[in-house]
């Protein structure tokens, strides 16, 4: 028994110029795409522009969509690309240095300061929400190159190859930045988790 891909009908209707199909596509994906763009750009106006550019590019490129992924996944990549392009054109904001957030080691390779054990997060919904906000604020404090890698890999769920392709860097650069970003986040978040 063959399964019918729900995207097939929508794609066929959009390729035929059906306006209701375009509207359906926008309605079903706009909120998620806005959230993706806002995580990268950190402002509503820029995110809205990136989403609009993403949809326009997707509509213009429907004939090139090969179906290797879902329409939503394809659009996700387009919106991430549009967001990253906008991010590259912005003037850089003052950032903290990543090295200031990384653990320090002595000549023997041991931590200069002891590594503290973390306790698990609370089961209280209010405390969990507060923790989520603090984690997001900590991610926002990372230098842009490291913040974007964390967003793409850990929040958006892209793999290393996809992230490298979007950022136009090597996979080893992605792995290094992700490792350093996670270490920096541990430093920033440590006060919340120490027993």
Per-residue pLDDT tens for 142-192?
888 899 999 999 988 889 998 998 888 999 999 999 999 998 888 888 877
For residues 105 and 112, is the Cβ–Cβ distance under 8 A?
yes
Q: Give the list of residues 6+ apart from residue 121 with CB closer than 8 angstroms, or none.
A: 127, 128, 131, 193
- Report the CATH number that the domain containing residue 68 is assigned in CATH: 1.10.1740.10
| Structural domain contains residue 1 | no
Mean pLDDT (the chain, rounded): 82
Beta bridge mates, 111? 105
Q: Assess whether pLDDT exceeds 60 at residue 3.
A: no
Residues spanned by the domain of 45 = 6-89
Domain assignment present for 182 = yes
Q: Does residue 153 sit in the same domain as residue 122?
A: yes
Residues 55 and 142 in one domain: no
> For the whole model, what pTM was predicted?
0.66
Q: How many domains does the chain contain in total?
A: 2
Q: CB neighbours of 111 closer than 8 A, spacing ≥ 6? A: 103, 104, 105
Are residues 75 and 109 both part of a single domain?
no
Question: Could you say which DSSP state residue 151 is in?
Answer: I
Task: Say if residue 107 is in the same domain as residue 181.
Answer: yes
Q: Which among 51, 57, 37 is positioned nearest to 152, based on CA atoms? A: 37
Contact present, 174 and 167 (Cβ < 8 Å): yes
Domain end residue (candidates: 89, 117, 146):
89
Place 54 in a pLDDT band, splitting at 50, 70 and 90: very high
Judge if 83 and 126 occupy the same domain.
no
């Amino acid at each position: 028994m063959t399964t019918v891909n729900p995207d097939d009908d929508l794609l066929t209707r959009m390729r035929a110029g059906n306006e209701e199909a375009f509207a359906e596509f926008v309605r079903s994906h706009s909120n998620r795409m806005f959230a993706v763009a806002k995580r990268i750009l950190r402002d509503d106006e820029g995110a809205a522009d990136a989403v609009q550019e993403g949809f326009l590019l997707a509509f213009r490129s429907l004939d090139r969509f090969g179906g290797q992924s879902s329409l939503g996944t394809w659009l996700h990549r387009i919106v991430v690309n549009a967001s990253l392009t906008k991010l590259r054109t912005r003037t850089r904001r003052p950032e903290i240095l990543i090295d200031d957030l990384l653990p320090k080691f002595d000549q023997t390779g041991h931590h200069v300061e002891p590594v503290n054990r973390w306790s698990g997060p609370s089961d209280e919904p209010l405390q969990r929400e507060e923790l989520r906000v603090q984690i997001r604020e900590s991610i926002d404090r990372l230098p842009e190159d490291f913040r974007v890698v964390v967003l793409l890999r850990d929040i958006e769920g892209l793999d290393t190859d996809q992230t490298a392709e979007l950022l136009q860097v090597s996979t080893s650069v992605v792995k290094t930045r992700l490792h350093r970003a996670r270490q920096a986040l541990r430093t920033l978040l440590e006060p919340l988790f120490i027993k």
